[in-house]
Structure 1
Amino acid sequence: MLSAFDKYTIHPGMSSGGSTVRIGELSKRTGVAVPTIKYYLREGMLPPGELTSPNQARYDETHVHRLRLVRALIDVGGLPVATVKEVLTSVDSPSDDIEKLLGTVQHALFPGPPPSSAATQAAAEDEVRALIGELGWYCRDNHPAVSALATVLVSARALGHSEFLDTVRRYVTVAEQIGVVDLDYIVDRLGVDGMVESVVVGTVLGDTALIALRRLAQVSESAKRFPDRRRPAAPA
């Protein structure tokens, strides 16, 4: 039985050498059902195995690795299959252009803005661009994060939270530090293939990690501010 850690451990640069296995063993090693593996093969999310007969194929460590990556993006990253397919296209198209890689992955991850007044959305996007300019950050005007952050502001104001932009400004220092950590993780990977995958892993799984850490920090800060409201520890 695979542990949660083993199931999603990513090993960039794994070679295709070594022993090969049939699809049933591939399923056992990765915890992915055979019908699901066949679906990934049909959709091009998993490369074909080595044919040993018209109806049989064998698979190697690269297939084990790819399956773990796919399941990590779906199960841990929470991405729909269609988005995973887009992201994998980046993984399979090596490039040393970090900005392009980040842009490709981020465009796949950001949903389109929900329906709202075009004028209201445009005004909020102008506010976001002004903030970016004020901070001295580099970002293309059409980056999906601009629209996503503007949508947040529009939604907050519709709920009566007109001051939420002040909170966003307080996030800036933390966000800058996260950007440094993310890029350190990416450039430290050896080789273009490892770098490409680290963009995907660092961005998708990093998002989930940050959400979890935020929740933990909120609980901890709440306990500090309201010690009298802390729940008593459960009996051993």
Structure 2
Amino acid sequence: MRIGELSRRTGVPVPTIKYYLREGLLPAGELTSPNQAAYGDAHLRRLRLIRALLDVGGLKIAAIAAILDAVDDPAEPVHHVLGVASDLLVARPAQQEEDAAREKAVRQVDELIRRRGWRVAHDGPGAELLAGALASMERLGHGDFRQMLEVYADAAEQVARADLEYVAGGTSRDVLVQGVVVGTVLGDAVLGALRQMAQTDQSARRYGERSAVAPARDGDDVP
């Protein structure tokens, strides 16, 4: 296909495609004449991945380039490629004060990782985010929330397994990484929405008033 068709099929403007080509994010097409090139399905997949990283993941061009370098390196295991993408999608929290609450939270996260046998870095973005959240809870007088960690960890493992099952059918590394981007960013939005709905339902069941039963009218069947 020509660049115009590539643009139509992906919704990416031609000037933007040319910019990606210049930056090396998109591989060059096959020259069919001095001024014409042909593009294939691999270009479609790569463009969709770039747009997912940019529009959904909110990543900068430099971060996208780092992910694409890992995707294109055949020596890189798939686990490492997905890890690079996942780490860049999680924004590290702002530096927090190293007070007693922070130190306690870091210990709790370290213990959780060891207890669960999770093969993750103790100083990775996820661990940093969790420690920051637990420290904030401690300062607000909700340190007992740590008792909920195992419940949350069980739910997280179940969701993570489902995420990986969803992307496991990917036919290329581009598709796998795109699935991780969608699952991480949009999946978080879906999970947050479902949690809010479930909390509302549970609140209604636990604290809501029972609906008054309307009196039967003449002629109505009464059970």
Report the alpha carbon displacement of residue 129 of structure 1 after superposing the two structures with TM. Answer: 0.8
Q: Name the structure 2 match of 1:110.
A: 90
For 2:105, give the aligned amino acid.
A
Match of 1:205 among 168, 182, 186: 182
Q: Name the structure 2 match of 1:147.
A: 128
CA contact (8 A) 1:87 1:105 kept: yes
Q: How far apart, in 2, do the equivalents of 1:72 and 1:179 lie?
A: 20
Match of 1:57 among 33, 37, 43: 37
Q: Name the structure 1 match of 2:212.
A: none
Q: Name the structure 2 match of 1:176.
A: 157
CA contact (8 A) 2:6 2:44 kept: yes
CA contact (8 A) 2:6 2:39 kept: yes
Structure 1 residues 225 and 142, CA gap change in structure 2 (3 angstroms) = closer
Structure 1 residues 219 and 186, CA gap change in structure 2 (3 angstroms) = closer
Report the alpha carbon displacement of residue 42 of structure 1 after superposing the two structures with TM. Answer: 1.7
What is the TM-score of this pair, normalised by structure 2? Answer: 0.75
Gaps of 5+ in 2: 210-223
CA contact (8 A) 2:93 2:129 kept: yes
Q: How far apart, in 2, do the equivalents of 1:126 and 1:199 lie?
A: 34
Instruction: Write out per-residue CA displacement over residues 190-215 of structure 1, whole angstroms, 9 at most, x where no aligned residue.
Output: 6xxx2x34542332211212421331
Structure 1 residues 102 and 118, CA gap change in structure 2 (3 angstroms) = farther
Q: How far apart, in 2, do the equivalents of 1:186 and 1:129 lie?
A: 29
Report the alpha carbon displacement of residue 160 of structure 1 after superposing the two structures with TM. Answer: 4.7
Structure 1 residues 124 and 224, CA gap change in structure 2 (3 angstroms) = closer
Per mean C-alpha deviation after superposition, the further-off stretch among 152-161 and 132-141 is: 152-161
Report the alpha carbon displacement of residue 111 of structure 1 after superposing the two structures with TM. Answer: 2.5
| Matched residue count | 205
Match of 1:138 among 100, 108, 119: 119
For 2:56, give the aligned amino acid.
V
Match of 2:6 among 26, 40, 45: 26
Identity %: 40
For 2:163, give the aligned amino acid.
D
Higher Rg:
2
Instruction: Write out per-residue CA displacement over residues 173-198 of structure 1, whole angstroms, 9 at most, x where no aligned residue.
Output: 111112322343455556xxx2x345
CA contact (8 A) 1:27 1:34 kept: yes
CA contact (8 A) 2:7 2:14 kept: yes
